Amino acid sequence: MSFSNVSPADTKSVQRTIREKHGDGVAIANLVTAVVERMMRRYVLERCTGRSDAVAAGNPHCVTWHEATRLDEAQMERLFPYPSLFLYPLPPEVTEHPQAPPAHLLAGGGAVATNDTGSQYREMFVLDGEAPKIMTTVQGECCLSVYSPAPTQANHGGVYLMGIDATSCVNVACRVGLHPSLRRELRAASMQHNASEEVEAARHCCDTFTAAMAHFDTAEGLAVVLHSMLWEVALPAWFHSATHGSRCAQSNECVFTQSHHIVSILQRLAYPAEENAVNEKRSPLLQVEWFIVGGVRCEKYTAPILTALFSTFFSPEGDPGSEVPFHVLRSTFILSELLRCEPIAHADAGAEPSLLLDHRLREDCVCFWSLNTVLRPWELSRDAQLFACCASWGMLLDVGTGGAWPATVCPGTRHYHAATLRHALVGSRYRYMCPLQCEGTLTVTNGPSTHRALAHCGGARALFPCNQLCINLLQFVDIFIESTGTESAVDTRHRQRRCPPILVRRGEWSWNVAFDSLLQSPDMFLLFTSTTPHCEPPDYTSVQQLAIKFRGDFSPDYVFTENTTGILLGAFLR
């Protein structure tokens, strides 16, 4: 199993290289980069000519592809990255997505970070960290974002997922929605039917998307998080979102009943003449788009992460050494198993049919290793050594449209949910910022000490006034949809402050370190705690100082209540 837009020959080549050179992360990263370049070239030809075997000669829109990894071996100074569709987008007339994010998300009136190189690549968009409806993923986290406007809702606006500060780390996202072929069939069918509940349900499904993003900073535990972000977060969340307006109760059984009903509606509307056709003859129900951004070319720190990532993506089905229960890129699933509930007997009793799933590696949203690297001197270095620096520190994903752009946070605006607390938790293993489907119901809490601690964390406050609350993924999705939807007239004064929920899980940090001495250390000392001190964002040391101060002012027991999962934040900022 692999991505539908990666050729079988390339898949086998990657699998063979991983098997034969598992300890050689550079060789694996180089090969996958070459595979991505071929994939991007095919995509450009398809967009520009309509044929994957078209001749590129004379086509002004076709990028001249470089063998980036081979050229990197020359170690020549290079102030611009090799071509990728993420940093060198196609012209507006042939691209699928906008060239830039909405202006209201940008800091400084739409400014972009510049390095005065004179190159033509698309540089990072500088985002306002306080912008509403952005779910920000920081180092070591896995976050969820949901776009599911009500059928009658106008001017819903966008919902966004952002990964930041990825130098030697890698941001990976998956976006779940109806398969484009099925969506086209449904939109065509809805034009031929009078308005009805079934047509409205189909339109709602066409407009519903979920996305999960993880910021991978270590190879240890990566496979489990990569598996969970799709199969325990984004995929079940899609069914929770698709049934949000039709469910009679907040239970997995209700979701399964409504989801089974909606799947039947979608298949009946899209394929009215094929009601008795076997499932495999139809288009997949859903498509998962995968995004990979970050990971500067660095043998010591980035290569192990990329090796773990691609070993998980390209592992053979049934690999006995796998850490996950089944292949991440699995192409079929059983709905009742996904939602962890007993299948309900229907009139057409029989085995529950499997649903089809397609995986696509987004050609215009893959930028890592040599594709995300510029080579230049470092002003703090005493010799003529060249340093590998990131062309983009992060990515902003529009969950509803699928648009994605290189991005960074404007210094001084890092006021996303509990920013300081979350930065203080970095290094406390991987952290899921929402419930997992397999976890069932979790207990979250807040209290006076929590509120005092949160006053130091970007102004976020607890979502509910009660001391304890039980929540699962289904309820989390419902809260997310309600908090990012169009507000009533009563809430107009708060409209720009509404923010999606986030679950900050309990983590540990050392509380007996001499924090005062750390705070008095020069910025240079903190900068060199990074794996890539030569290419960190300009506010790296200030972020570290705030996190150190927080760990010195508060203990984990002061912030988190014993025997609870963590704190649920959201609703409004400040």
In this predicted model, what pLDDT tens digit does every residue of 357-400 receive, in sequence order? 999 999 999 999 999 999 989 888 877 788 999 999 999 999 99
- Out of 113-117, 179-183, 231-235, 398-402, which region has the weakest mean confidence (pLDDT)? 113-117
Whether 140 contacts 428, CB under 8 Å: yes
| Mean pLDDT comparison of 55-64, 106-115, 181-190, 514-523, highest-scoring range | 181-190
Beta strands in 381-538 (DSSP E): 387-390, 395-398, 404-409, 431-432, 442-445, 460-462, 468-471, 498-505
Say what the pTM is. Answer: 0.91
The CA distance from 497 to 433, in Å, is: 20
pLDDT category at 288 given cuts 50, 70, 90 is very high
User: Which residues constitute the domain of residue 502?
Assistant: 419-574
pLDDT category at 279 given cuts 50, 70, 90 is very low
Q: Within a domain: residue 513?
A: yes
pLDDT of residue 347: 45
- Out of 240-254, 401-415, 463-477, 488-502, which region has the weakest mean confidence (pLDDT)? 488-502
Q: Within a domain: residue 446?
A: yes
- Average pLDDT of the residues in 466-470: 76
- Average pLDDT of the residues in 550-556: 89
pLDDT category at 552 given cuts 50, 70, 90 is confident
160 pLDDT above the threshold of 90? yes
431 pLDDT above the threshold of 70? yes
491 pLDDT above the threshold of 50? no
Q: What are phi and psi of 189, to 5 degrees?
A: -65, -35
pLDDT of residue 108: 77
pLDDT of residue 460: 54
Both tokens of 346, joined, read 């229907």
118 versus 48: the higher-pLDDT residue is 48
- Out of 213-217, 273-277, 511-515, which region has the weakest mean confidence (pLDDT)? 273-277
In SS3 terms, 89-107 reads as: CCCCCCCCCCCCCCHHHEC
Q: Within a domain: residue 507?
A: yes
In angstroms, the first-to-last Cα distance of the chain is: 47
pLDDT of residue 58: 38
Which helix (H) or strand (E) element contains residue 345? none
Number of domains in the chain: 1
User: What one-letter code names the amino acid at 308?
Assistant: A
pLDDT of residue 26: 93
pLDDT category at 112 given cuts 50, 70, 90 is low
Q: Within a domain: residue 184?
A: no
What residues contact 540, with CB distance under 8 A and at least 6 apart?
Answer: 165, 526, 527, 530
Both tokens of 127, joined, read 């985002």
pLDDT of residue 100: 92
What residues contact 483, with CB distance under 8 A and at least 6 apart?
Answer: 498, 499, 500, 501, 570, 571
Q: Within a domain: residue 570?
A: yes
Nearest to 215 by CA among 174, 166, 160: 166
The CA distance from 3 to 8, in Å, is: 9
| Mean pLDDT comparison of 253-262, 265-274, 387-396, 548-557, highest-scoring range | 387-396
pLDDT of residue 403: 96
Nearest to 216 by CA among 288, 168, 176, 145: 168
The CA distance from 153 to 364, in Å, is: 30
The average confidence (pLDDT) of the chain is 84
- Per-residue pLDDT tens over the stretch 296-323: 999 999 999 999 999 999 998 766 667 7
What residues contact 355, with CB distance under 8 A and at least 6 apart?
Answer: 263, 279, 285, 286, 332, 333, 334, 335
Q: Within a domain: residue 32?
A: no
CA geometry: angle 118, 121, 126, nearest 5 deg: 95
Beta strands in 370-434 (DSSP E): 373-376, 387-390, 395-398, 404-409, 431-432
Q: Within a domain: residue 448?
A: yes
Q: Is 307 exposed, middle or buried (0-12, 13-18, 19+ CB in 10 A)?
A: buried
CA geometry: angle 425, 430, 432, nearest 5 deg: 90
pLDDT category at 402 given cuts 50, 70, 90 is very high
- Average pLDDT of the residues in 263-291: 78
Question: Which sign, positive or negative, has the C-alpha torsion 382, 387, 391, 397?
Answer: negative
Helices and strands, counts by H and E, the chain: 17, 19
Which percentage of the chain shows pLDDT scores above 90?
50
pLDDT category at 121 given cuts 50, 70, 90 is confident
- Average pLDDT of the residues in 28-33: 94
pLDDT of residue 56: 44
431 versus 113: the higher-pLDDT residue is 431
Q: Within a domain: residue 532?
A: yes
How many angstroms separate the most distant Cα atoms in the chain? Answer: 77
Residue with tokens 């938790």: 425
- Out of 110-119, 247-256, 375-384, 546-555, which region has the weakest mean confidence (pLDDT)? 110-119
Instruction: Give residue 549's region: left, alpha or beta (phi > 0; psi -120 to 50).
Output: alpha
Both tokens of 430, joined, read 């991987």
Which percentage of the chain shows pLDDT scores above 70?
81
473 versus 115: the higher-pLDDT residue is 473
Nearest to 434 by CA among 215, 98, 144, 200: 144
**Residue 40 CB neighbours (<10 A):** 22
pLDDT of residue 329: 96
Whether 88 contacts 378, CB under 8 Å: no
488 versus 88: the higher-pLDDT residue is 88
